[in-house]
Structure 1
Amino acid sequence: MKLLTRTHMSQRRLMEILRVIESASTPVGARAISDTLSNRGYDLGERAVRYNLKILDELGFTKKKGYSGRVITPLGSRELADALIDDRIGFVNTRIEEYMYRSSFDPHSCQGLVIANTSIIDKTDSDRVLDILARAFDEGYGISRRVLILDEGEMLSTQVVPAGSIGMVTVCSMTMDGILMKKGIPVLTSFAGLVRIKDKQPVEFTDLIAYAGSSLDPVKIFMGGRVTSVSNAISRGSGRVLANVREVPLAAAGYALDILEASRCAGFGGLIKVGGPAEPILGCPVAAGKIGIAFYAGVNGAVAAEEMGAGIKTLPISMLVDYSRMADLS
């Protein structure tokens, strides 16, 4: 029995549960799945998740691993790859919009939920990674000096931090989109790409991927392709770093600038440029009637650490976190 024979809403629930299980590196239980779905905008309680897990077990798409939770089977992976192709197109933008809607950070009060990236770090490399993150922010390539550190055994998004590791939560640049949305400004996250840095100054986008119509996070694609040189940009002033561009209506430009200034005063960095009407941002196109706003990606510090050989695995745009739980890098 295929998922495609079920109603659309049931399809979506089952597919989202499969996505959560597949993205976890360890078996995941109903409570963790429910929490993750809630962060993604799906109101599905633990009891409902258990019911849907029984269906997935019967279909052969998941299986129990003792009392630890479920893992996805090869059949489930194939179903996830093949089913609902049309539904997956634009999935990344939909997920970003859900996170933006559910975020609540206010730059004036410095309170609320921020969109976050998560990393698993080998404990032996933790001090070095945190130092690199601080340097990345000091050089302007990060969003915030705030991080949340979780010890082994604690829950990080959909997984438990493994033994011998720490979990790290950093602020994602999409938080800025959420701030603009919450202030009533329509915002479209349009492109992600690589910015060439020369003499510590951004020169141009050398590669771009549009978020619209994408079933994979463009930032994650660039990270997986190992085409960055963030560590060189930090240490030598020249390299290629991750960034993204969002568009807002020209009529809201003045208000948007006020919000960006408030965010800067709240300690948020990473702003590259605010363009004029339909003005390309470092070569990235901007639609008529809009202005473009470019920010460096919040994962740049983690990417630099990986480039330098640190044991770190990073997942962008992976959870919401209360800003008050985060602390400044020392």
Structure 2
Amino acid sequence: MRGRDQRKLLEILRVIAEAKRPVGARTISDMLSSRGYNLGERAVRYNLRILDELGFTRRYGYSGRIATSLGLKELRDALIHERIGFVNTLIEEYMLRTTFDFASGDLVANISLIDRNDLERALEIMEMVAESGYSGDLVRVHHKDDCAEIGTVCSITVDGLLLRAGIPVNTTFAGVLEIRNGEPCRFSDLIAYAGTSIDPMRAFMARRIARVMDAVRSGSGKVLANVREVPVSALEDAMRVLDRARSIVGRIAVGAPGDDVLGCPVAPGRVGIAICAGVNAPVAVAECGIRIRTCPISTLIPCGEMSRIRFYKS
């Protein structure tokens, strides 16, 4: 489905599919009106004929139209197309919204939910991950009935710091970073933020291919990390920010100008910066058999509400 009328046809098709019963032009027009689309009954009939010709809808007696299997597939494909770039937009939004300046302001945070009975053990594991440098050690713990909410610093906070310092930054990839002998080696898997309809970190977490605790315990494993690029001309200024940022996010690897960073491609005239993901700590908790649910890039938390993990341990 292409052209300037694509949106109109998709909305009509969506109304028909969501109705889960045959619907006529008048009903479709009324439902479109409630969604902010001013399309009269006559115009709806015209577009229904187009949908019929495309094979996306068909008549169901005198009751109206129903969506065909081809039409339902078109809707699914269109939804994916609409969501492409959504994650990048979310990242850019939080980059602009964070006000953290190392002394005050809001940090970008991931949120994890866990049973309160598992909190003490979870914090012990998260502290081990932070001590190994695979995440920061700042957290905020809120108790909610029988569960606890743990906020951890998201590495997008660093992108916001760079941006506030006047350094153009572009978050490009998320990936699985191999650790050997305690040192980052290379990315074994990468997903571009610009080409996916879901958060790559969520995808890697769902696939459970990280081995964070292996990296913590033996020095060899796999952790999650993401990559951003800054102009070569801004490298000196960027390094001043990154040197301070290590205290809140853990390990940071900076590539040579124009070269790959740990095997991740970098555009000409740019420098790649790989930062261990803040979700590594809750990922490690899950690896230890503790049930935890994590939402990356979830909210903003005032830095004054966050403390070192050891503060929360009894």
Give the aligned partner of residue 98 of structure 1. Answer: 93
Report the alpha carbon displacement of residue 125 of structure 1 after superposing the two structures with TM.
0.9
Query: CA 1:318–1:306 in structure 2 vs 1: closer, same or farther (change >3 Å)?
Result: same
Separation in structure 2 between the aligned mates of residue 82 and residue 214 of structure 1, nearest angstrom: 13
Give the aligned partner of residue 210 of structure 1. Answer: 192
Report the alpha carbon displacement of residue 133 of structure 1 after superposing the two structures with TM.
0.8
1:202, 1:272 within 8 Å by CA — same for their partners in 2? no
**Which runs of structure 2 are paired with 1:1-330 in the superposition (5 Å)?**
4-5=7-8, 84-107=79-102, 110-142=103-135, 144-152=136-144, 163-264=145-246, 267-330=247-310
> Larger C-alpha radius of gyration, 1 or 2?
2
Structure 1 SS opposite 2:163: helix
1:119, 1:312 within 8 Å by CA — same for their partners in 2? yes
Structure 2 SS opposite 1:223: helix
Separation in structure 1 between the aligned mates of residue 123 and residue 216 of structure 2, nearest angstrom: 14
Deviations 1:225-259 (A, max 9, x none): 01111011111111111011100001100000011
Report the alpha carbon displacement of residue 124 of structure 1 after superposing the two structures with TM.
1.5
Report the alpha carbon displacement of residue 282 of structure 1 after superposing the two structures with TM.
1.0
Please, what TM-score do these two structures have when normalized by structure 1? 0.70
Report the alpha carbon displacement of residue 204 of structure 1 after superposing the two structures with TM.
1.0
Report the alpha carbon displacement of residue 213 of structure 1 after superposing the two structures with TM.
2.3
Report the alpha carbon displacement of residue 84 of structure 1 after superposing the two structures with TM.
4.5
1:4, 1:83 within 8 Å by CA — same for their partners in 2? no
Give aligned-pair identity as a percent. 46
Deviations 1:289-313 (A, max 9, x none): 0001111000101000101101211
Separation in structure 1 between the aligned mates of residue 76 and residue 96 of structure 2, nearest angstrom: 27
Separation in structure 1 between the aligned mates of residue 200 and residue 230 of structure 2, nearest angstrom: 20
Give the aligned partner of residue 36 of structure 1. Answer: none
Separation in structure 2 between the aligned mates of residue 221 and residue 133 of structure 1, nearest angstrom: 21
Query: CA 1:80–1:172 in structure 2 vs 1: closer, same or farther (change >3 Å)?
Result: farther
Q: In structure 1, give the amino acid aligned to 2:196.
A: S
Query: CA 1:304–1:93 in structure 2 vs 1: closer, same or farther (change >3 Å)?
Result: same
Separation in structure 2 between the aligned mates of residue 328 and residue 121 of structure 1, nearest angstrom: 19
Structure 2 SS opposite 1:151: strand
Separation in structure 2 between the aligned mates of residue 80 and residue 283 of structure 1, nearest angstrom: 37
User: What is the number of equivalent residue pairs in this alignment?
Assistant: 247
Structure 1 SS opposite 2:258: coil
1:91, 1:213 within 8 Å by CA — same for their partners in 2? no
Separation in structure 2 between the aligned mates of residue 309 and residue 268 of structure 1, nearest angstrom: 26
Separation in structure 2 between the aligned mates of residue 145 and residue 164 of structure 1, nearest angstrom: 24
Separation in structure 2 between the aligned mates of residue 80 and residue 104 of structure 1, nearest angstrom: 39
Please, what TM-score do these two structures have when normalized by structure 2? 0.74
Separation in structure 2 between the aligned mates of residue 258 and residue 129 of structure 1, nearest angstrom: 33
Runs of 4+ in structure 1 deviating by more than 6 angstroms, as ranges, are none
Give the aligned partner of residue 48 of structure 2. Answer: none
Structure 2 SS opposite 1:253: helix
